[in-house]
A and B are shown apart, each in its own frame.
Chain A
Amino acid sequence: MQKSNSNSQQNASADKTREQVMAEREAKKQAKQAKKQKPITPATTIITQVEQTTITKKLTTTTTTTTKEQNQLQLAAAASAPSYDATVTNNAVQVSAQNTTDSLTNATGASEKTREQIKAEREAKKAAKHAAKSNKANSVDAVAQQLNNVQLTPKAAANETAATGAADQDKKKPALSKAERRAIQEAQRAAKAQGQNKNVTPTSGVAKAATSSVKATPVVSATPVKEPKRESESPAKSPSKPTTHKAEREWNVKLFNHLVSADKDASLFINDASVHPSIARLGVQYAQRTIVGSNARCIAFLHALRQVVQDFETPAKKEFGRSLDAAVKHHVEHLHKCRPLAVSVSNAYKQFKNQLMQLPDKPETELKELLGHFIDTYIENQIGKAAQAISSSMQEKITDGDVLLTFACSSLIQFICEEAKRRQVSFRVIVVDSLPFCEGQEMLRRLHACGIPCTYVLINAISYVMPEATKVMLGAHALLANGYVMARTGTAQVALVANSHNVPVLVCCETHKFSERFQTDAIVYNELCDPNQLVKDGKCCLHNWQTKSRLTPLNLSYDITPPELVSAVVTEVAILPCTSVPVILRIKPDIGY
């Protein structure tokens, strides 16, 4: 175990500073010593880690059903695989650090400390003391919570986890800052001390937490314990995260004060007993942007929903349909708190609610089966078959010699391109991408995997490549009732430039993403992402922007493309002008209301 880890660390060590390397070496040495002295402590930790890994992997694979999504989720699983290794190493280092704390502190303390780091440390210590005082059950939670607090905003990294690959994971791993590592150590030490006081188990606190929950139902345990861990090893953009988090919220852009950024409180993800584990897990995945994209979010939601339905037990003297409705409502609210619901998800939820209202009078198991069947058909019809229908009508539009221009990543566009490739049409694709999400890189990788020649540019170079393009194909987040297209920010710009070059713009969108909302600009309703994503690295001038009073980075999720910039919308029903959205909403009333 140690050796394989050291290999991977050596690969990554190129980006490390000398101090880090030295500290790590020392830590490893100590870990070895610790192993000899106390072979039990680190071993149990590693074993529990491995158990968790397998459980989570199982969970991940259960959710991969539709062919389209399978690819993506597998990639996600592959991407997360090396990160577990990282956790194990980390943990080993931490355990050793517990045994020989002083020397490691000296090693790391040798490098300069920033104020924030010291503050974070103090906070962690204080919290650790507090945890030691409280009783055992609470303290485990506290530790878990603390681990979360240490890394309150890891969704940036998590987002990239989905987009980039395993290789990137390896690169990012060493970026875990010392302050965080130390805070984690402190928390763990406190938990350990607390455990010894109570004479329950001599193992470390986190290991104990893991084992205790593993003993319970495996589905439950994997989620709440795993999340803080995963968060703890995902890299943060700046070490000042824990202390500046509160200040961050005060520096909202005035224009966007009405948009409340989603509450990323740790307790929300773990400590809510009434939330089903699959939903809690999904919530974290939404918040961290591990699951992005309208379709992926919808499918993941429906899978989680099916789990909820299956595990649902009607309370005594209550009706199945009603009580399930209430429970699902609670779950959806939880998801909404994690990240505002996608239009596709809220449409699916509405459909599901409709179904609940119309449940026949049958025994509970049959009803559950009925609902499960409904969910399956929803996924198959609304997403799978719709994609096929759109693809087949798009095939007529793609001919030899075409140069398709697309923006960011869309599973539907990918599907269409793959289909065209299968038909052996000779065409190429220009992938336009934008910082900070860089979803186009994922698109590029997928297209590259099926052998389609690609060109890749950033969005400000779009006028350079637009003259080559013969068609622009765009995915969408939602189609609004006034014909405006809501999509990843930058889409409107692509459509605008395409329009000025007289290139037709086709928006591909399934009808389950149609929304009855009206919106005319991207400011009234939007989603704010983590502004720290705009900060490139430590050398960037925006580094520590929180300390500059008047400066705010703004990271918008979506923008709105006016219908005059869109030539046509391709849906599974027909190829339509944008303005026909209300017509579709009317003939398909089950979506709208």
Chain B
Amino acid sequence: MREQPLNEVTQLIHAVKMGLVEGSYSITNKTLDIFKYIIMSKTWQNADALMQIVRAQSRIMQAALPQETVTSNMARRILKLTREEFELLQAKGQHFADDSQASLSLHKLVTQTSENCVSVDYSVPQQGLREALLDHLQEVETELETSSENISVQAEEHIHSSEIILTLGHSRSVENFLKRAIKKRQLLTIIVAECAPACRGHNLAASLAHEKNVEIIVIADASIFAMMSRVNKVIIGTHSVLANGGLRAACGAYTVALAAKHYSVPVIVLAPMYKLSPLHLCEQDAFNMVGCAEDVIAYDSVPARDAKVYSPMFDYVPPELVTLFISNTGGHAPSYVYRLLSELYHPEDLEL
């Protein structure tokens, strides 16, 4: 018998499916709210029970919204938090004042032997766990709120004056990042590829056009290669970062990254930490979704009757095409993503 979804979970799933909640940030925020509600509720008595509930609810969300990895990422964060807090409290309770227990240093990882790694019994009731968790959750919330800003303050470190920057589609992180860059640097030229068929690039261009001292060029997706020869930097957002450092990004990102590689232009990907997901998906079929084809070719047009028309939503960008990730904690190379993941999530939670 499967667990029933909470009322809040059902509401969130519905809202996302109806397009009422859009963008990774708001979905993450809502998910966090749900988990906060779960923690505050009286339905669990020990850490094990809490983890069971969190797992079950996130499984439901994952099944309902397979394309939104941020929900499971958030669940993994909560699980890791629970483990840490529980162990910390237990250690305190047993006067086991071993500080290195909390942090997984490289030294510890290497020297760790199986006898040290006794499985902890989470079913023991622990005093003060709820309060500690809520405290910690506050930190996570703040981190989430400031993530976009923390990314954009790094703009100055990466953009010099009179640079020509290319971006694709419309990502909120990229928008803030570029706005900051425009304020700090002179004579930037920003080339926006429109990202057909939704053409969300137009929105970004229109939003950036309010700034001064900048030249915005909107190009069709077909002209990316032609313009790339003049571009200094490619800055794109992503839907999620995969475990190998590859991207699941908006459709067209692969072409952009490939063209950048051809002209040796650095590709900078803005990805807040909550977009890091411990998944290995290197195939189109593994994660892609096909959208409505009406935008690609009108249903009632003559050739559309017999032709197969696809409108995929995502592109896989292999890690070798990415130069740098900028997250709210700083810059990372794609090869370092695995390490970030091991710090962010507990290895036992990778499989929910």
Interface of A with B (CB < 8 Å)? 164-165, 167-168, 253-255, 431, 434-436, 441, 444-445, 448, 453-465, 467, 488-490, 492-493, 496-497, 500, 521-523, 526, 534, 536, 540-542, 545, 548-556, 558-560
Q: Is the CB of B226 within 8 A of A489?
A: yes
From the candidates B196, B222, B303, name the one contacting A448 in the complex (CB within 8 A): B303
Q: How far is the CB of A257 from chain B (nearest CB, A)?
A: 12
Q: With A489-B220, A551-B216 in contact, do A456 and B226 touch (Cβ < 8 Å)?
A: no
User: Considering the chains assembled together, what is the distance between the CA atoms of A560 and B189 in angstroms?
Assistant: 22
Q: Once the chains are docked, how many angstroms separate the CA of A358 from the CA of B310?
A: 56
- Given the contacts A463-B315, A497-B254, A497-B258, A559 and B223 also touching, CB distance less than 8 Å: yes
Cβ of B271 under 8 Å from chain A:
no
- A534 interface neighbour in B220, B227, B255, B308, Cβ under 8 Å: B220
- Evaluate contact between B209 and A550: CB separation under 8 angstroms: yes
Say yes or no: is B296 at the interface (Cβ < 8 Å to chain A): yes
Of residues 209 through 226 on chain B, the ones whose CB sits less than 8 Å from some CB of chain A are 209, 211-212, 214-226
Listed by A's residue number, 8 A-B pairs whose Cβ atoms lie within 8 Å are A454-B307, A457-B311, A458-B221, A461-B251, A490-B222, A541-B203, A550-B216, A554-B223
Once A and B bind, how many residue pairs between them come within 8 Å at the CB atom? 190
A13 to chain B, nearest CB (A): 16
- B296 to chain A: which residues have CB within 8 Å? 456-458
Contact in complex: B205, A551 (CB < 8 Å): yes
Chain A residues near B212: list those with CB within 8 A: 550
With a cutoff of 8 Å between Cβ atoms, the chain B residues found around residue A460 in the complex are: 195-196, 221, 251-252, 255, 315
The one of B215, B219, B310 that contacts A464, using a Cβ cutoff of 8 Å: B310
Known contacts A435-B222, A523-B226, A559-B223; 8 further A-B pairs (Cβ under 8 A): A167-B300, A435-B220, A456-B307, A460-B221, A461-B252, A492-B226, A497-B254, A542-B218
Chain B neighbourhood of A553, CB < 8 A? 217-219
- The answer to whether A454 touches B308 (Cβ under 8 A) is yes
Interface residues on B, range: 35 or more
Q: Is the CB of B255 within 8 A of A497?
A: yes
Contact (A493, B218) CB under 8 Å given A448-B307, A464-B310, A540-B202: no
- For B205, what are the chain A residues with a Cβ–Cβ distance below 8 Å? 541-542, 551
B262 at the interface (CB under 8 A from A): yes
Q: A461-B251, A462-B255, A541-B202 are contacts. A493–B224 as well, Cβ < 8 Å? A: yes
* Residue B312 interfacial (CB < 8 Å): yes
Residue of B nearest to A495 (CB): B225
Assess whether B284 is interfacial by the CB under 8 Å rule.
yes
Decide if B225 touches A441 in the complex (CB within 8 Å). no
Q: How far is the CA of A548 from the CA of B192 in the complex (A)?
A: 15
B229:A521 contact, CB within 8 angstroms: yes
Q: Contacts A463-B315, A467-B284 given; indicate if A253 touches B217 (C-beta within 8 A).
A: yes
B333, chain A: closest CB distance, angstroms: 22
Distance from A453 Cβ to chain B, minimum over Cβ atoms (Å)? 7
Name the CB-closest residue of A to B205.
A551
Is B1 at the interface (CB under 8 A from chain A)?
Answer: no
What does DSSP make chain B's interface, helix, strand, loop or mixed?
mixed
Decide if B196 touches A458 in the complex (CB within 8 Å). Answer: yes
Shortest Cβ distance from residue B211 to the other chain A in the assembled complex, whole angstroms: 7
The residue from B219, B300, B302, B310 contacting A457, defined by CB atoms under 8 A apart: B310
Residues of B within 8 A of A556 (CB): 219-220, 223, 226-227
Cβ-defined partner of A552 (8 Å) among B202, B211, B216: B216
Residues in A neighbouring B220, C-beta threshold 8 A: 434-436, 489-490, 534, 555-556
Complex contact B211–A550 (CB within 8 A): yes
**Could you say which residues of chain A place their CB within 8 Å of the CB of B224?**
493
Of A441, A488, A496, the residue contacting B262 (CB under 8 A) is A496
Are A461 and B206 touching (Cβ within 8 A)?
no
Give complex CA distance A462, B196 in Å.
12
B340 CB to closest chain A CB (Å) equals 26
B194 within 8 A of A: yes
Chain A residue with the shortest CB-CB distance to B302: A445
Cα distance A155–B296 in the bound complex, in angstroms: 22
B302: which A residues are within 8 A, CB to CB?
165, 167, 445, 448
A465 to B196 alpha-carbon distance, docked (Å): 16
A456 near B255 (CB under 8 angstroms)? Answer: no
Other-chain contact of B303, A441, A488, A549 (Cβ < 8 Å): A441
Could you tell me the distance between the alpha carbons of A441 and B315 in the complex, rounded to whole angstroms? 23
> Which residues of B from 257 to 274 have beta carbons under 8 Å from A?
258-259, 262
Complex CA gap A500/B320 in Å reads 13
Does the CB pair A459–B222 fall under 8 Å? Answer: yes
Closest residue on chain A to residue B170 by CB atoms: A541
Query: How distant is B303 from chain A, measured CB to nearest CB, in Å?
Result: 4
Contact with A along B65-104 (1 / 0, CB 8 A): 0000000000000000000000000000000000000000
CB of A456 within 8 A of CB of B297, answer yes
B residues in contact with A522, CB < 8 Å:
225-227, 229
- Tell me the complex Cα distance, A253–B223, Å: 14
A474 to chain B, nearest CB (A): 13
| Contact across chains for A560 and B203 when beta carbons are under 8 A apart | no
Residue of A nearest to B218 (CB): A553
Q: Is the CB of A551 within 8 A of B297?
A: no
By beta carbon, the residue of chain A nearest B202 is: A541
